[in-house]
Structure 1
Amino acid sequence: MQTNPTPPTHTSLVAVGDSFTEGMSDLLPDGSYRGWADLLATRMAARTSGFRYANLAVRGKLIRQIVDEQVEVAAAMRPDVITLVGGLNDTLRPKCDMVRVRDLLTEAVERLAPSCEQLVLMRSPGRQGPVLERFRPRMEELFACVDELAGKHGALVVDLYGAPSLSDPRLWDVDRLHLTADGHRRVAEAVWQTLGYPPEDPDWRVPMPATLPPGWMTRRVADARFARQHLLPWIGRRLTGRSSGDGRPAKRPELLPYEDLA
C-alpha cells in the first residue's frame, strides 16, 4: 500500500453502513461495540485538533435501508472523509436481486462522492468456510461493482477481501459473521494506510501464526453453539421479516468533536 510523502490532514469522518461499521463484535467492557471506524477516528483525532466524527451505521441494514436512512444524512454533513460499506447483508439473503443491489450502491456513491473530499469504499473480508463458498459469486459481483464505482468517482478502495490474514477463522467471532477486536484493529490499519497515513501496524496483512486445528469434538461443540446462539435466531429473523437493527438508532448520529483517545 502506498502512502503519501506528506500525511494528509482530515478534520472530519462520517462512517456509513451496517454491523461491520458499527463495530460488532469488538465488544467493550460496558457492553458497547468499538470497531474499526472508532479506532480510525481515534487515530485521526490524535493528529487533528477539533476532529469530528459521526457513525451512522446500524447492524442488519440492507443497502436499500442504508440509502434511505444514512446517505442523505452523511452527505449533508459534508465531512472530509466518508466511508461506505454496504450490500453484503443483501448478498447473504436467500433471494437477492444483484441488479438492484448494484443500482442502489451506485445511487449511494453518486450522492456521497461529491459531498466529501474523499470517499472510501471496501471489498469486505470473507471468512474461510462453506458460507463464503456458497455466497462467493454474489460477493465478488458486489466487489466488482465497488471497483467500477471507485474508478468512476475517485473513491479509494480498501481491499480486505484480498487479504488472506482476514479470512482466518480465528479473527472472527463465534457468530462467524463479525470480526474480533484483532480483526477490527487490522481493518482500521488498512483504512488508515489507504488514506495515505504512515503505517502504524505494517504487518496487518500478515497471517496469524499457525496452530494445530481444533479436534473433532471441539469443532462439533462449537458448531452446536453457533447454531443455537446465532444461526437459528438469524433464520428466525429472516422468516419473520425482522432485523437485528430494528428500532436501533445510529451509533453516533451527529458530527461532533471526538475526544476518545484511549
Structure 2
Amino acid sequence: MQTNPTHSSLVAVGDSFTEGMSDLLPDGTYRGWADLLAARMAARTPGFRYANLAVRGKLIGQIVDEQVGTAAAMGADVITLVGGLNDTLRPKCDMGRVKALLTEAVERLTPACEQLVLMRSPGRQGPVLERFRPRMEELFACIDDLAARHGAVVVDLYGAPALGDPRLWDVDRLHLTAEGHRRVAEAVWQTLGYEPEDPEWHVPPPATLPPGWVTRRVADVRFARQHLLPWIGRRLTGRSSGDGRPPKRAELLPYELPLPGDVGAGEGR
C-alpha cells in the first residue's frame, strides 16, 4: 500500500452505515463517513469522482444483486464494501450463505479497482446486539480471510475503543453520530495510506459523568418505542427501511467540494 497515495475516484457499496445514517445535515439528507472521505480525497486530487451506491436496510444478497455489478463497471481506483451485518441481525440467518455472497462480492470487485477496502464494522455494547455477536465475529473472520486472499485492506472498527462508546451512537443505537462517522472516515483515510489528520481517532472522548438512573430508563423507553419495536416489526414482516429507495449517489461523477458556509454542498449530489 502506498504512503500518501493519489486516488482519482471512489465508489462506496453497502447499507445504512455507508449511506451515512445518522449523520444528519440541516437539509434533511445524510452525510456520513464515505462523503467525508470523498471530500478529503477530492481536496487532494482535481477532478476527483465519487459514487455512493449504498441504501439503508440492504442485505448482502441485495448488495450483490443491485450494487456490486454497477460498482465493478465503474472502474474506480478505490471501492469500499461493507455488508452482511444486517443479515447477522435477522432472527434467522444462514451464515454459510452470507459468507458465500460476501466472497462473491469480493471476487467480483477486486479485479475492478486498484484497492478494495473491507471493514470490521463497529458495534456498541448492549443487550440487543450481544445475542448476535457470535454471528458478527464469524462475519469478521470471513472478512479477514477474504482480505488476505485477495489483497484487500481491512479497517478494524470493531476493535476501536472509541466506537464502542455509546456517546458516538445515535438514539437508535444502530447508527453512528456525526462524530462517529468522522472517526470512521479518518480510519479509512489512514488505512489507505494517507497521512493521519487525527492519529487518536480510536481513543474514546474524555470521560463525563454518566446519566442518572431515571435519565437512562427514559432513554430506554424512548428507544424501544421509536426504534426497537418498529425495527422488530420490519424484521417480522420482511420489510426494509430501504424498500424503493434509490442509491444515494448513483453515478461516478466529479465531487463538488462545499463552499464555506454551504453545509450540504457536495453531499449526495
Same fold (TM over 0.5): yes
Q: Is the 8 A contact 2:36 2:185 kept in 1?
A: yes
Deviation at 1:217, TM superposition (A): 0.7
Letter in 1 for 2:141: A
Gaps of 5+ in 2: 260-269
| Aligned with 1:28 (options 7, 25, 30) | 25
Instruction: Write the deviation string for residues 132-188 of structure 1: whole angstroms up to 9, x where unpaired.
Output: 321110000000000000001000000000101100001000000000000000000
Which residue of the partner structure matches residue 10 of structure 1? 7
Identity %: 86
Within a 5 Å distance, the mapping from 1:106-121 to structure 2 comes to 106-121=103-118
Aligned to 1:47: 44
Question: Do structure 1's residue 237 and structure 2's residue 234 form an aligned pair?
Answer: yes
Amino acid at match of 1:156: V
Whole-angstrom CA distance in 1 between matches of 2:258 and 2:193: 21
| Residue matched to 2:176 | 179
Q: Deviations over 1:67-115 (max 9, x none)?
A: 0000000000010000000000000001000000000000000000000
Supply the distance in 2 between the matched residues of 1:202 and 1:226 (Cα, whole angstroms): 33
For 2:71, the equivalent position in structure 1 comes to 74
For residues 20-54 of structure 1, give each alpha carbon's deviation from its aligned partner in whole angstroms, at most 9, with x where no partner exists: 00000000000000000000000000000000000
Q: Is the 8 A contact 1:125 1:167 kept in 2?
A: yes
Inter-partner Cα distance in structure 2 for 1:236 and 1:45: 41
User: Which residue is 2:266 aligned to?
Assistant: none
Tell whether the 8 Å contact from 1:45 to 1:261 is kept in structure 2 after alignment: no
Matched, 1:206 2:203: yes
- Alignment pair present for 1:225 and 2:222: yes
What CA distance in whole angstroms lies between the structure 2 residues aligned with 1:74 and 1:108?
Answer: 10
Equivalent positions of 1:49-128 (< 5 A) are: 49-128=46-125
- Equivalent in the alignment of 1:37: 34
Select which of 237, 244, 247 maps to 1:247. 244
- Whole-angstrom distance in 2 between the partners of 1:248 and 1:56: 11
Q: Deviations over 1:174-207 (max 9, x none)?
A: 0000000000000000000000000011110111
Write the letter of the residue equivalent to 1:146.
I
Distance 2:106 2:118 in 1: 9
Runs of 4+ in structure 1 deviating by more than 3 angstroms, as ranges, are none
Q: Measure how far apart 1:214 and its partner are.
A: 1.1
Is the contact between residue 46 and residue 261 of structure 1 (CA under 8 Å) also seen in structure 2? no
Q: Specify every segment of 5 or more residues in structure 1 that has no aligned partner in the other structure, as ranges.
A: none
Give the letter aligned to residue 166 of structure 2: P
SS across alignment from 2:146: helix
Q: TM-score, normalised by structure 1?
A: 0.97
Indicate conservation of the 8 Å contact 1:52/1:255, yes or no: yes
Amino acid aligned to 1:97: D
With 235-244 and 95-104 compared, the bigger mean Cα shift is at: 235-244
RMSD over aligned Cα atoms = 1.0
| Distance in 1 separating the partners of 2:160 and 2:154 | 13
1:209 Cα deviation after fit: 1.0
Equivalent pair of 2:58/2:242 in contact (CA under 8 Å): yes
Report deviation, 1:7: 1.0
